[in-house]
Structure formats: structure tokens, C-alpha cells
Chains A and B, each alone.
Chain A
Amino acid sequence: MAVEYDTGDFVATIDKLEEIADINGFAARRAESEKRGKLRGLGVNCYIEACGIAPSNLVGQLGARAGLYDAATVRVNATGSISVMVGAHSHGQGHETAFPQVVAEMLGIDASQIDIVHGDTSKIPFGMGTYGSRSLAVCGSAMVKATEKIIAKAKKIAAHLMEASEADIELKDGQFTVAGTDKSVAWGDVTLAAYVPHNYPLEEIEPGLEETAFYDPSNFTYPAGAYACEVEVDPETGKVTIESFAAADDFGNIINPMIVDGQVHGGLAQGIGQALLENCVYDENGQLLSGSYMDYAMPRADDVPFYKVDHSCQTPCTHNPLGVKGCGEAGAIGSPPAVINAVIDALQSGGHNVTHLDMPATPSRVWAAMQG
């Protein structure tokens, strides 16, 4: 089975990066650093990744022993409030915020009416989890499909209540209306009727308002972006400091910009940690030497700069209903090469013939590289 990059405007992210990273101003910043006795380097990296994991038939051919769909159950209560049971667990990704936004917009009700239930296998449908930048692209798509089923059934109920044709029912701002008339019933009237079916099309549909959908993607999604990192190297000690970091990503449609910013920030910190700090070391007898945080260096707030993050380049994914590509891994994937490229650029600017550095570029390693 062949897969193809469905969409992406890669040049646009590079153009955006040039702007937000102020690439043109680099020469002046380098000169200023050199005045202070520091070597400054600029590193750029463009990435594209396969996310929204994944078409089950494809991963089956590749040897995976599981399907990689996901699932959601939308349970509308009699009062009109909603519980959405999702297969993708939320442990900091903000599903509790972003997922209700989608359902709220589809139904025209307030997001505060919607509760996300996750992480309890006695309550949720069978899902495949949170990884591979897949939660919104795959589980979110299942949620959209389940919500579409809810809307279709609710319209049948609304048509019955207003004695109109189902084809004429419209749902907007939490109100069902009959096209071309002033008739309307509220979302809450319909949901109450579903559970108190005194006046209800029982011969046509079941009581209740709860739907489950599974979604199996037809392709991966392909987030892409361009990153630029500027570092200063202290030539006397080998210590690297990140002076600026800019990330221009194309994640397709964005549901919640603040959460996307946060996902990128976290990913960048993780990638910077990998590039400069985090080092898992064993001795020749297999004894772990970096066995605690006294020796294993995690990135801390003062190890990273204030990021410049942009996701205004948006080419929507063509094959899932939300047009989203996922953003959870991008920062961690795109940043290490940008950091190391910047360190090498800085060293070369100081006359050091260094073309490769193993990660993490710790002060002692960078200093050793400068000794030739």
C-alpha cells in the first residue's frame, strides 16, 4: 500500500521562519556576541513527520499486531449536557479543553456543558491511546463521527416535535429550526424528549441519545515546519546557551492555538534537553552512572529561551474531518538538529574545524571538540 504526502506548503514555513527568526539580523547579532568574547551560531532544520497514527491495513502489512483506529462515545444526557468517552488519554495534552470545543461548535452549545471522560477502561470504548500526534486527528475524528450521528438522530426527534420534514431541520446556536418558518425547539427540549419519550417517534427510532464511532484513518497526517536556533558558545568553557529559538509549523487546522503553543514549547524543551543536557551513561560493567537527577540533566526553565512560535501556515489535512495534522511531537523532532547545527556553526565561526558533535553537546564535549 502506497501512502503519499497529502498536503503541505513547505516553502511558506521557511518564509515565515525567516521573518520570525529575523535571519537577516543574524550577522549583527553575531558581531555583538563576538565583542563579548562569545561565539554565536545559527542552525536551521526543516522537518516533516508521519503522524495521526495510523491506517490499520497499512500498519498490519508493516507487521504491527494491532489496529490503530480510535473510538469515542458521545452520551447526551436528558438535560442536554454531554459526556464524551474517548480512547485517547489526556495527561497534559489538553484534550479536556480542545475536544469539547469541537463538539460545542458542531452543536452550537457551550463547551462548559461537555465533559471528557478518559483513562478508565470500564467507562470508555476501546481506544489505542495518546501518542504519535494522533489524539485529535484520530480520536477527535471518531468524536466528530459520533457527534454527526447524534445530530442526525436529534434532527429526527426535532422534526417529530415540530411536525416537520427531517430534511428541513437545521441546527444552529443550540436551536433546531424548520427552514423557511419561525418554528424552533431548543437543544435541551430535544434531549429531554429523547429520555422522556411521551411525544416521540418510537416506531422509527429508539429512545436515548448516545452514539459511538470508530475512526480508522486512510493515511498518516504530515505536520511539517522550519526551525531556527541561535546559540552562544563560551570558547573558554564550552558552555552552550540558547539565545533564541523560532519555530514555524504547519499543523493544518488549529482547534486551540494556546494548547498548540504549549505543545510546541514543551516539545522544544524536550528537544533542547536531548541536544544539550540529557545523557544516559553506563560504565563498562553495565552500571548506570546517570542514575539520579544529580547526574541526569533535565532541561530547566533557565536552560531554554522565550520561544518564538508561529503556526499561521495552515494547509488542512485532506483526509480527516477536522483537517488537523497533530502537534505533539513536532517540537521534540524538529529542534535537536537545529540546536546542533547552531553549535557547529558557532564553533566554525571561531575557526574550529568541527563538523560533527554527538548529543548531548555538554560543556566538556564542546570544549574537547574545540581542542581538536
Chain B
Amino acid sequence: MYAFDIERPSTIADAVKAMGAEDAQALSGGQTLIPTLKQRLAMPSKLVSLTGIDEMKGICVDDRGRICIGGATTHAEVAAMEGYPALSALAANIGDPAVRNRGTIGGSLANNDPSACYPAAALASNATIITNSREIAADDYFQGMFDTALEEGEIITEVKMPVPEAASYMKFEQPASRFALVGAFVAKFSDGVRVAITGASNEGVFRWAEAEAALSDNFSADALEGLSLSGDNMISDIHGSGAYRAHLAAVMTKRAVAAAG
């Protein structure tokens, strides 16, 4: 680890101010960032811890029925909440207890790891990402592997998730890390079905439009028969080829639909 300064602001305003320093880096649980620092793969001048900001913590429901989760809310808190069982189940299966008690939803979405679980939930749920300066629709937020619409120094303060009529997340675990080798989040709303696939693509999390159309007509696993994704732009590594990931994406989507009922 290289030397760095750390600030622990207690308000969003102070956090934004602290993030103004050159090479400042937000720290929100640190379940990816701290191992990265330990391996000397990053050299921030200053870490700005977001987990001491009370206005960024906690879960509530807004007047439109959306689940509103503070950016500094841990996976364990989301796992324990009521109101969106598929999201809670997803959070309960991230990493291990230590990760779930430190890692946060804001940290995960800001990092946008291509194998992370939360991006699939946010995209399939048509979430709105609230930052210190604006609101970003999930469809505009995820811009590629480890790439998001966040500007330099911008902080995710809250995530608002519409609650689907039916939803489920199915994760096929990479055997070593147990991140998603492929994960499929299926969310059925009154106006249509959204399907988000994580872990698979070189472009990060994405919506599977063909499956969405088929499921919007007929929400059953049978509706997906014959549908497939191309493995061409899928991640290929020691755990599986692009073709294998494309295949798994279809299998996991079917299973998610079956589980959502």
C-alpha cells in the first residue's frame, strides 16, 4: 500500500468538498478498493470515506413506492430489508459475511465491476441513481466495464428501485471468486419485462432485448426457447469461453423466470 490521507466527512457537502482534491478517491466499504491498494494497483492521494455520512445510509419507500437505498448502505442491510425479496436475495449472496457487512450498494455501482451482482439488479429494475448533483437513469448510467456516467468526484448518494410485480436473480458462480460468472436478473413490471445480464459481456452489464420482448408477451421460461446470445463479445478467460458465458446467460435467464413465477 502506498501512503495516503483519509477524510471521514459526516455530510454529503463535506464529502464533495473533500473529493475536490487532486487524485482523491471515494471509499465506500472498500471491498474492492482496499485489496487494490494493498496490491499497489492504485495510488490515490486521499481516501474520502463515505460510510460515516448518516444521510447516505438506510432504506425507505418513497411516495411512488420505490425502494430508496442510501449509497452507503451495506449489502447486509439490503439482505435484511423487506419489500423487494429478489433484491434482498441477491444482496444476501454477495461475497461472504465480512464483505456484506462492509461493502455498500453505492460502492458496487460506482465501481461497476463486470462480474458484480448489483448492476444487474439496478438495470433490470430500471433504477434511478441519485448523485450529489443529479439523477441518472440506469439505462444511461452503465457505460461499459468499470465505466459509468459518474463525473470526477461525483458521489452516489442514493439508489431508487421500482419494485417489480415479479423478479428473480440467478447467479452462476465463478468457482474461485464466487463472483458472477454469469448472472441474470429478470424483473416483470406492468408495462413489460426487463432482463439484465452481468458477468458475461466485455461491455459490462447489459439488457437482453430479445428476451425482454419474448417475456413481455409471455412471462414463462418456454418463451425463451430458441433464443440465444452471441459469444463474440463475451468475456473469455480461464473460467469459461465467450460461447459458454452466452450459453449460461440463456440458462440463467430461464431459471430466473421460472423462479420468479
By a beta-carbon cutoff of 8 Å, the part of chain A in contact with chain B is 236-237, 239, 277, 279, 281, 289-290, 293-298, 362-364, 367-368
Contact = CB atoms under 8 A, between A and B. Distances in A.
Contacts of B248: 237
Interface string B247-261: 110010000000000
A368 B248 CA distance: 12
Nearest to B182: A237
A239 B177 CA distance: 16
Contacts of B179: 294
A236 B244 contact: no
A295 B238 contact: yes
11 contacts: A277-B176, A279-B238, A289-B237, A293-B176, A294-B176, A297-B176, A363-B172, A363-B175, A364-B239, A364-B240, A368-B244
Contact of A237 (B172, B177, B238): B172
A289 B244 CA distance: 19
Contacts of B177: 293-295
Nearest to A300: B178
Pairs A-B, 9 closest by C-beta atoms: A297-B176, A364-B240, A297-B175, A294-B177, A281-B238, A236-B251, A364-B244, A295-B176, A289-B238
Contacts of B240: 363-364
Contact of A362 (B172, B175, B251): B175
B30 to A, nearest CB: 16
A45 B172 CA distance: 30
Contacts of A363: 172, 175, 181, 240
B244 A296 contact: no
B148 interface: no
Interface of B: 172, 175-177, 179, 181, 237-241, 244, 247-248, 251
A171 to B, nearest CB: 54
Contacts of A298: 176
Given A239-B172, A364-B240, 12 more contacts: A237-B251, A281-B238, A289-B237, A290-B176, A290-B238, A294-B179, A297-B176, A362-B175, A363-B172, A364-B239, A364-B244, A368-B244
A237 B177 CA distance: 18
B250 to A, nearest CB: 9
Nearest to A234: B251
B101 to A, nearest CB: 19
Contacts of B247: 367
Contacts of B241: 364, 368
A364 B239 CA distance: 7
A294 B175 CA distance: 9
Nearest to B172: A237
A289 B176 CA distance: 12
A201 B147 CA distance: 88
A298 to B, nearest CB: 8
